Structure 1
Amino acid sequence: MKTISYSNRLYLSELESQVIKEDIHLYHQMVIRSYRLIYHKNYHGLQINSLQKKVKSFYGTNDYLPLSAIHEAKALFKSSSSLHKLHVKKLDKQISRIKQKVDKTRKELEKIENQIQQLIHKTREGKQTKSDYLLEVQILKPTLKQLKSRKGQLNFRLNRVIAKQRKLTHRVPMIHFHEATSMTIPGRRQGKYSNCIFKYHLDEDTLVYRSRQQEIHLPIEFQPHSEQLKDKIKLPHNTAGKAVAYQIMDKGKYFIIKAIFDLNEIPIHTTKGNGCIGVDINVNHLAVTEINKEGNLVGTTNYPILGYNAKQRKHNLQGIIKTIIEDCAMKQKDCIVENLDFEQAKSESLYQSKRRNRMLSEFAYRQILEMFIRKGVQWGVKIEVVEPAYTSFIAKIKVTRQYGLSIHQGAAMIVARRGMGYQEKIPRQCQYFASTWKQMKQVFKNAKPTEHPLLSLIQ
């Protein structure tokens, strides 16, 4: 797994700063040109024999900068293509949900129209009563008008989303680049210094940057993982994991350099034989529940995600995840995390509160899962991902009342049990009404609101 080590602030002379800024600007132009060539090659059939030679000859430089720019341009194109597919998939789901609402509204319309036709037929036969008249005038006709309006709005929304999807499918958007502030040079495992342009002299703690005009010596100190970085550079020539990539970032008055390399993984020392720790991920908190090897409850904790903006919440979340993984490492228990998808919740954010929408839009589950995996690698803790289907519902039925847990804490317990291989069976008194948890949930949903669903099942 890749990790990052940051350097100290580098305050350079005006001449050296200008040299680096010119290289960053040239590199950024190469990235833009490479991306556009790749884009037209994939979507418009542009014929290119050698992208490297084309970019190199256009700017008249050596191979190092063009190869790095092409590498980043390919990564940008791949990410933009994946994002485009995700948007198309999201629109497909949205169209499907709107069509379901249209069908439901159409059926309700047909039902109301049939009732009105029955009343009209009753009137022609002279059998209409006062209650029939009031039903038609006060309930059926206003409801019919409301349903027709809703159907028109849904059809308008459906046509708009279909047109948006058709436009997005026929024309894949191109990335709009901003002003260049950084330059990334991939590493190489051949050679002494693990990089083509940056040379890290370990004995002098100096990083030499080979620009197009001159060599710039940078007194540098990397933190964290500085010792692991030095060990990577000391590896023999052409050894797997020796490559170190460097990213130089222009911060205005100073520069910062990031070293990116493979982290030395600690051997896994946790096991399911001691039990597991399950994590239920929510927008505003993490619910953590510990179970023993028999699957019984040991303890539970709630960790609120604090902060007024995304950066504060991310920093707070990193501390929470570190605490959870350290606890797993100390107790030698695997960490079980649920595999979530917030796309549907985000697509429905139009109808929620402003604060919840902001928190949901800033909530990146993949980023949280990556935090768990990274900390697990550093502490030798195994991270396992399980499907979260019906965990909250099962917890509500089986464990919340028994152990006095909240829904989220119970869901974390079910996640942990699922990670250990336990299967939750439907209670015996409910097996007559449902054979699967999906049917069970539907039965509870259809129960009367004035009585407890379980009582309605037993009776």
Structure 2
Amino acid sequence: MKKAYFSKRIWKKGVNALTVAEMKTLNKLFNRAKRFVFQMLVRQKRWERELHKESIHLVVKRKFGVNDYVANSIVRESQALLKAQTELNKLYIKQADEKIKKIKKKLKSERSFLTTLRKIKASFIKGNLWLPKNRNYALHPSGLVSLELKSCSLIWMNTYLFEHQYLDATIKRLKAKIGRLEHRLFRLEGKKDKLTTRISSVVFGSKKLFKHQFTKKEFVQDHQSWKELFLAARNKQVLISGRKDSASGNFVFTYQPDTNDLHMTSLSGKVVTFSNVVFPYGQEQVDQAVLCQRNCKDKKANGKPISWSVEDHKDYYIIKCLIDVEEEITVNFSTSDGVIGVDCNVNHFAWTDVSKDGNFLESGKLSFSLHKKQPVNQQKSLKQKR
């Protein structure tokens, strides 16, 4: 399986100006090409025909003037995004089915209750009061009418009060509730039909940020500032896929474990450098993956690709290294019964339980104090001194 390791922040003020300029050019061209390829794939799927006689790879190379390695990464990123959208669509349809099933069950229950109340109301009109035995209603010899609930009991002094204070009000409330449920069911069925028949696209830069140009006052008054922010979000990341036949696992990026320098071959053919690329969690794994790939003699058979990603965070870069690692057999990766997430903090553990569909169930916090607590190593050393 793939595992990503994040580097420390690489501040732009400490990076060579040429490196920043080349990275900006690559960022802009890479993401523009990715959006073009993704929209082409979506249109081909919608129209059920090929838009070009050539392969997508060749179309990208000719249109944007990139080399094979960058074009391959662009196409693979776009295809992966479309596949992810397809799988997400299936999940949304499954969730809609479950919601529709629950609403239909609720509607059946509420309609049954409404029918019962209408029968009671009809018995009042006929002058012969009828109360169902399975609803915990009771007419006492004194003329009182009672209703036993789980948490309390309701009492009316006579049948007139029961009819007008409870029966009429409950029938009116149930009608409104059933109407809301029917409307929600109609919306969900429409949503499911839309998800089933329509092939959806993607808003690069996020829908939320796109809507801000119309909803946020500062962006309505200053559209240029929104445009700059939106373009920065659209052109934030570059991911170059690895190649197992490469000497270092990637033909665009080359990492030097001894100096922690990451060399990049830009679109213009220049080699630029990111200095001091250190991974606080996973430095040994990254070094080992790079050295194993270099020392591998038969790379086509036994080589392992190493992918590199550069994220632009305005003032600094975050570099990610994606390598293949062996899957741990003892770890349970199944999410069929849901997932529990745990966050370790200085004074408490926070946990959250979500269902198999990703819906929130419950959360909690386990508090503790580290005051006057000593690490295990210090405790052992104190015992040895004693």
> Could you tell me the TM-score, scaled by structure 1's length?
0.56
Cα displacement (A) at 1:76? 0.9
What amino acid does structure 2 have at the position aligned with 1:66? A
- Rounded to whole Å, the distance in 2 between the matches of 1:65 and 1:91 is 39
Residue from 300, 312, 324 that aligns with 1:238: 300
| 1:189 maps onto 2:225 in alignment | no
Q: Of 341, 359, 370, which aligns to 2:356?
A: 341
**Number of corresponding residues:** 291
Q: Does 1:12 align with 2:35?
A: no
Distance 1:13 1:108, change over 3 A: same
What is the Cα-based RMSD across aligned positions, in Å? 3.5
Name the CA distance, whole Å, in 1 between partners of 2:70 and 2:261. 22
Amino acid at match of 1:215: V
Which residue does 2:272 correspond to in 1? 216
- Considering Cα pairs closer than 8 Å and 6+ residues apart, tell me whether 1 or 2 has the greater RCO: 2
Asked if 2 retains the 8 angstrom alpha-carbon contact of 1:12 and 1:254, the reply is no
- Measured after TM superposition, the shift of residue 108 of structure 1 is 0.8
Question: Equivalents in 1 of 2:248, 2:179: separation in Å?
Answer: 67
Of the three residues 168, 174, 188, the one matched with 1:147 is 174
Partners of 1:6 and 1:258 within 8 A in 2: yes
Contact 2:260 2:275 in 1 (8 A): yes
Separation in structure 2 between the aligned mates of residue 265 and residue 151 of structure 1, nearest angstrom: 50
* 1:133-282 map, 5 Å: 133-178=160-205, 179-202=234-257, 205-213=260-268, 214-223=270-279, 224=283, 225-234=285-294, 235-236=296-297, 237-240=299-302, 242-263=304-325
Q: Structure 2 vs 1, CA of residues 79 and 120 (structure 1 numbering), >3 Å: closer, same or farther? A: same
Which structure 2 residues correspond to residues 317-396 of structure 1 after superposition, within 5 A? 340-341=355-356, 343=358, 345=360
Query: Mean alpha-carbon deviation: is it higher for 83-92 or for 194-203?
Result: 194-203
Alignment match, 1:32? 35
Structure 1 ranges of 4+ moved more than 6 A: 265-268, 283-286
8 Å contact from structure 1 (residues 182, 250) kept in 2: yes
Deviation at 1:123, TM superposition (A): 5.3
Q: Tell me if structure 1 keeps the 8 A contact 2:30–2:74.
A: yes
- Using the alignment, how far apart are the partners of 2:118 and 2:196 within structure 1? 39
In the alignment, is the contact (CA less than 8 A) between 2:27 and 2:237 conserved in 1? yes
Q: Distance in 2 between matches of 1:116 and 1:265?
A: 66
Aligned to 1:41: 44
* 8 Å Cα contact 1:232-1:243 kept in structure 2: no
1:404-419 to structure 2, matched below 5 A, reads none
8 Å contact kept, 2:309–2:319: yes
Question: Structure 1 residues 44, 141: CA separation in 2 closer, same or farther (over 3 Å shift)?
Answer: same
Match of 1:92 among 86, 94, 97: 97
Aligned-partner SS, 1:144: helix
Aligned-residue offset at 1:98? 1.4
For 1:167-208, what per-residue CA distance to the aligned partner results, in whole angstroms no more than 9, with x for missing partners? Answer: 343333311112212211111111312111112345665432
Query: Structure 2 counterpart of 1:13, which letter?
Result: N
Shift of residue 142, structure 1, vs aligned partner: 2.6
What is the one-letter code of the residue matched to 1:38? L
- Match of residue 118, structure 2, among 113, 125, 129: 113
Name the structure 2 match of 1:82: 87
1:6–1:114: structure 2 CA closer, same or farther, 3 Å change rule?
closer
Deviation of 1:3 after TM superposition, in Å, equals: 2.5
1:273-307 deviation per Cα after TM superposition (whole angstroms, max 9, x unaligned): xxxxxx99657889xxxxxxxxxxxxxxxx9534x
Aligned to 1:436: none
**Aligned partners of 1:283, 1:340: CA distance in 2, in Å?**
11
Residues 95 and 162 in structure 1, CA contact (< 8 A), matched pair in contact too:
yes
The letter of the residue matching 1:139 is Y
Q: Measured at CA, do residues 54 and 230 of structure 1 come closer, stay the same or move farther in structure 2, by a change above 3 Å? A: closer
State the alpha-carbon separation in 2 of the partners of residues 114 and 18 from structure 1: 79
Aligned AA for 2:34?
V
Q: Distance in 2 between matches of 1:284 and 1:120?
A: 60
2:117 and 2:286 map into 1 onto residues whose CA distance is 73
User: Would you say the 8 A contact 1:284–1:304 is kept in 2?
Assistant: no
SS at match of 2:49: coil
Q: Which residue of 2 aligns with 1:438?
A: none
Equivalents in 1 of 2:343, 2:273: separation in Å?
A: 46
> CA separation in 2, counterparts of 1:51 and 1:157?
42
Tell me whether 7-16 or 245-254 shows the greater mean CA deviation. 7-16
CA distance in 1, matches of 2:315, 2:46: 41
Q: Which has the larger radius of gyration?
A: 2
Distance 1:241 1:191 in 2: 8
Give the secondary structure class of the aligned counterpart of 2:127: helix
Q: Please state whether the residue corresponding to 1:231 is helix, strand or coil.
A: helix
Provide the TM-score with structure 2 as the length reference: 0.65
Q: Where in structure 1 are there 5+ consecutive unaligned residues?
A: 271-278, 287-302, 307-312, 318-337, 347-355, 361-459
1:59 corresponds to: 64
